[in-house]
Amino acid sequence: MSDSGGGGLPAQERGELEALRERVHALESAGPPGASRHHPFRSLGSVLLILLAALLSLLSVVAVWANSIVQDTDRYVATVGPLASDPDVQKAVTNRVTTAVLAQIDVDALVKELTDAAGQQGVPPRLTELLGNLKGPIDNGLKQLVDSTVERVVTSSAFETVWVNGNRRAHAALDKALTGRSDGAVEVKDNQVVIDLGPIVADVKNQLVDAGFSAASKIPAVHTTFVVFASKDIGKVRSYVRVLQILGGWLPLIALLIAAAGVYVAFNRRHAVIGTALAVFVAMLVLGIGLTVARDVYLDHLPPGTSQAAAGSVYDALVKFLRAGVRALAAVALFTAAGAFLCGPSRIAVFTRTGCRRGIGGLREVAASAGLRLGPVGRFVHRFKRWIGAAILLIAAVVLFTWSYPTTAVVVWTAVITLAGFAIREFLDAPEPGT
């Protein structure tokens, strides 16, 4: 089979003819030399629109993340739930609960009770005096007992349940902390969002009693807490998040429309597409670096006594999906820039397209020699080839734009499937010989 206008030519000559046609078409599309120099304001407008679109793309990623964390409880729980098995968080909770339990146990009273019991049993006064000096060893042994018991509870599935349920309830406090909304049932004290570890203390109390430490039965209900979110500047954070919430649903669309406008007013629209994609990629790079810097700033402003390691783990968990969104959009930008470049008249682009076309054409000829006849399908694809390509790109864009939380893997697979779609289109592009 032969391409349109190239019937009867050898495959190599047809490929060279097609490459020449593409070069001529690209040169014609570029317009007369020096035309762009007559309208500097138009070029400046295009650049400004592209830069604005890149900035809005950065804000869009943050806005989508903020809305998902603040408004979607299930998303929030899925974000912080894995922290229940994080060693740093477990250690911080163990220290917190151990301190709370030991504060409820009067070691002096235990020593006095021991000496009184010894005296009632007729123990010699000298031995009774020695028992009175056991406060230090008893204190150390008790701390080891409680610490090991708490660690056993915190590393069990019981803690995971308490952690997930507590965070689900704490999400209302996080919502209030970051948006200012409140239903009156939840309070944010000292600019902190906390989880009540009372159920863990109760579990530790029961295990101590079961282990034979009867004094633990006197421990009252204790409601010690673990800080999930804390910031001295929560008022500023709340203002920023509130603005992003208002614009969150519209920012991605606004950014896309402004980018399209920047490309439309440009003289060389293919170059503008490449510039837009690279600008978005740089914006994502800046945001990624900003998240790393913000982590250090956040940890430096924590209240005294807060576990730095645990707070770092919580921060990493909270921004996990934000980082995923940054990487996904950066990948989209790179694929877009690469695609726009490969559509151009450069030698590399023409060589790549020609090589792919020849490879697919050779495969089609092998299939045809084996008896494959595309018939009406080949004629249809050849006639509507550009429309089919546009449809493939449109479907890919809709998939990425409507996917709730696209990841880098989603972007890569979408790109792979898109390339496969173009390859299939090229394979099916088989007009009748001589047409």
Residue 46: how many CB atoms within 10 A of its CB? 23
**Structural domain includes residue 2:** no
Are 30 and 122 members of one domain? Answer: no
Are 126 and 274 members of one domain? Answer: no
Are 323 and 208 members of one domain? Answer: no
Tens of pLDDT, residue by residue over 15-46, are 566 666 666 655 555 544 444 445 777 888 89
Lowest mean per-residue pLDDT among 57-71, 216-230, 290-304 = 216-230
> 235, 270, 290: which is the final residue of a domain?
235
**Structural domain includes residue 3:** no
Residue 357: how many CB atoms within 10 A of its CB? 18
Q: Give residue 1's pLDDT.
A: 41
Of 24, 19, 27, nearest in space to 349 by CA = 19
**Structural domain includes residue 204:** yes
Q: Give residue 370's pLDDT.
A: 82
Are 200 and 323 members of one domain? Answer: no
DSSP bridge pairs for 225: 196
Handedness of CA 316, 322, 328, 334 (dihedral sign): negative
Three-class SS of residue 276?
Answer: helix
345 neighbors 23 (Cβ within 8 angstroms): yes
- For 169-173, the CB contacts below 8 A with 24+ separation are 169/195, 170/194, 170/195, 170/228, 171/73, 171/76, 171/77
pLDDT at 127 over 70: no
Are 144 and 222 members of one domain? Answer: yes
pLDDT at 158 over 70: yes
Percent of the chain beyond pLDDT 70? 68
Are 97 and 229 members of one domain? Answer: yes
Q: Which residue has the tokens 């151009």?
A: 344
**Structural domain includes residue 353:** yes
Three-class SS of residue 229?
Answer: strand
**Structural domain includes residue 1:** no
**Structural domain includes residue 113:** yes
Are 368 and 221 members of one domain? Answer: no
Of 93, 76, 74, nearest in space to 85 by CA = 93
182 neighbors 176 (Cβ within 8 angstroms): yes
On average, the pLDDT of the chain sits at 76
- C-alpha count within 13 angstroms, C-beta hemisphere, residue 268: 20
Are 121 and 204 members of one domain? Answer: yes
Tens of pLDDT, residue by residue over 373-430, are 878 888 888 888 889 989 999 999 888 888 877 888 999 999 999 999 999 988 888 7
Of 105, 117, 112, 106, nearest in space to 132 by CA = 112
Are 230 and 246 members of one domain? Answer: no
> 235, 253, 287: which is the final residue of a domain?
235
Q: How far apart are CA 29 and CA 39, in angstroms?
A: 17
Are 115 and 58 members of one domain? Answer: no
What is the separation, in whole angstroms, between the first and last Cα of the chain? 10
Total of domains in the chain: 2
Tens of pLDDT, residue by residue over 236-263, are 666 666 666 666 678 888 999 999 999 9
The whole domain housing 304 covers 11-68+241-428
**Structural domain includes residue 63:** yes
| pLDDT band at 53; cut points 50, 70, 90 | very high
Residue type, 278: L
Are 169 and 289 members of one domain? Answer: no
Are 145 and 97 members of one domain? Answer: yes
**Structural domain includes residue 6:** no
> 173, 200, 235: which is the final residue of a domain?
235
